[in-house]
Structure 1
């Protein structure tokens, strides 16, 4: 939990943008590629530039492979077919392909290696190992992914191996070669956050220009077809294969790459360990994050009050026992009829009468009460009366339901309030 909190504290908020001119991308250390500056909640088609579309297929018992249905490949597309059993690769350009009838396979092997279209536009090749695995590679089209940008206007997806040469979106290309990886990216409540230190963002280049400069060529050991207008097909030996008639290939990947031709992969540049920055071997550990701010204790109401700030309430004075109490020259009574005009009578002739109105809970206080009031030379008693609807005053103990309220209370017996 603490690590998560510290990560959030170090995030830097960025304002999302929707203008395509502001598209920027970067590669995360987790292998995800991020593109920001997109239209929020909009679906985009991503091309994995520099990678062919690869499809697994099988030749029939006659050694014939259906390469693609009508409309799948375009004019001038380059295609490779690898006979996995013989480890031989054949390539051709989809131009001037002859049209002829494709007979139903009866098990007779068609040894002549030819390429043709049927009258429906479906493309075939013969002369392959019968009933065996074949790999079809469409060199001039890249695999695509349909990904929706989130509310922050960015999208992310995991790069596999081998990595493409560029990520192409909206006719713009993000070149991956030599790209330095950085921290993560997140969307929180419509705000874009990027880890600190911020990664190096790259701008896109023209996809048309990048494709023209980075075409996918036939593999070095590919036998390339030459198709004449009359329908004949001839095959050139692979230029780098010293044994063009053999079944194997001695080609190797160029220096600095790994894998087996034609699937050579340029390894990603070295990166600093997680938690450090810089470029190997100059990796630097970032300074520790600042300590979290001290936690302020929750506010409390002042002594003698109740509730939660700012709604602090001073408790009303109440008797320790009985129905009356006194404080600072004030007489308090409880358990009276609510919201009534009341009268505290402490002597004759009205000289010490005090008037007040009870609250909704039947609590009342009579200010400036004379605790020294006397009656015929002795300390007086106090009686509480209520005002009737006809304007007359009546003792509270006669109010319906309040017969338990004392009629007379001897003033010296009234104790202090709590």
Structure 2
């Protein structure tokens, strides 16, 4: 398709968009009396309007049933989280029994590392990407220290090539083979938070396992964003938060994937709690842990229903639309945003460098050469909510559920006006 940088063309794309009606399913912040152009679904998704009812239903059940809500609510609390597994399994490419919803992302990664980081005196090293998200760095460092290793020795970072802004799959595989029989675990972000790159999860998983390591994935920026086939790709485990592309609300309950081959094992190392025991025997208060035959065995405590309810509300939307349709629009709207950026670049005396490679999801990370924080501030004051990363990168994530093609055009015009105003002030 040949794009045009005009409002009429953008509106025509919106008229043809089968998902356009879903914009009305979300609440938008307002700036200057208008709905914002929202580019930060990669940090916190907008609130679905139907979320309120799901939360209100829980509050009503708590008010009217109290403890009996565990068993007699319309959606009983004791198995509430199980309602999410089927929908999530479609989104991540897994079997429902390989999915559980519990805790938050870094807590879940720590718990999963109990099972999948089992270092020995020889096999103890962990491979991750350089400058992984800070929480992942802290987690890996603390895990290495907990097991008595120096993080500087135990953690091996795969670096980008000089002058490049993305990782090459062959470099990751080369590093895996280089570490070889010293490698205990590969744990990387499936979609990099900074540059938006989607790593080759299938190939990297196979490479790590070929040298005897476990392979897991932080999919905070992947779930609800890209096509995933975790079971078919044979990943050992994965974890993700729910508040970015999944729109479940700030800090809400997270999800895990544990490959079927690791389920129904009593001898797997694992921190265990009451809610991981089989439902049939849970209330018998037996002294021995009897794990559920699913990823729910990694649960420790009963799920926080008021945190899980908004997740279920959002998953209802994903069920209606399906990942295939979301990804189809995502590719088109990101391509149009990229086109708009290049067109504006030609019209102003600045240079935009898109550092996100073609292997990408919903995000474009852009170097604004010659521009600084004042341009970001201008965008925010004029109704564009985006993300700033030092020294001069903005991250733009046009989530297909609630961003429009007209948003992309209007953003380009606001961006151009901000640059031209700065230039006029300087001159």
TM range (shorter): under 0.3
Q: Which has the higher strand share?
A: 1
Q: Which has the higher helix share?
A: 2
Which is greater in Rg? Answer: 1
Higher relative contact order (CA 8 A, sep 6+): 2
Question: What TM-score results when the alignment is normalised by the length of structure 1?
Answer: 0.22
Question: What TM-score results when the alignment is normalised by the length of structure 2?
Answer: 0.22
